[in-house]
Copies of this chain bind each other. A is one copy, B any other.
Amino acid sequence: MDLDLNFLAQDRFAALVGVRLVQVEPGHAVARLELEDKHLNAAGVVQGGAIFTLADFAFAAASNSHGRLALAINCSIDFFTSPRGRALTAEAKEVHRSPKLASYNVDIHDEGGEICARFTGTVYRKKDRVAL
């Protein structure tokens, strides 16, 4: 799909972290993070906040993909393993959508294809239009 990505391109925090939107279509999005030393925590593994930010960005893209502004109500994330390799991919899928609310599942995989974390997020859908 040929969506305008200008809206999410303005996310300065995602840019700081290095999260990049790879794909977006209605109810679905993929984001990617090339891992660098700046993403590591005190234990030398990828910091939970970096993984959350990646997942949250895919969630934001998928939930705003219908052209209406979606605001996060809550999110949860389960951490399974420390990622291996040099990149993480997050894929957001819509689980349910009603006029006011919608819910998404985001799986985060490392370079070897192993699932490192799973994120769930719910949004409140406003009437404002958004050109994703």
Interface residues of A (CB under 8 A from B): 7-14, 16-17, 37-43, 46-50, 52-53, 56-57, 60, 69, 71-81, 95-96, 98, 100-101, 103, 105, 115, 118, 120, 122, 124
Contacts and interface: CB of A to CB of B under 8 A. Distances in A.
- Number of this chain's copies in the complex: 4
Nearest to A17: B49
Interface of A is mostly: mixed
Nearest to A36: B12
Nearest to A71: B79
A86 to B, nearest CB: 16
Contact of A78 (B10, B17, B71, B103): B103
Max count, chain B CB within 10 A of own CB: residue among A10, A101, A105: A101
A41 B57 CA distance: 10
23 contacts: A11-B41, A12-B40, A13-B46, A13-B47, A13-B49, A14-B41, A14-B47, A14-B49, A42-B60, A48-B72, A49-B57, A50-B53, A71-B79, A73-B78, A73-B79, A73-B122, A75-B79, A76-B120, A81-B98, A95-B118, A101-B124, A105-B118, A122-B122
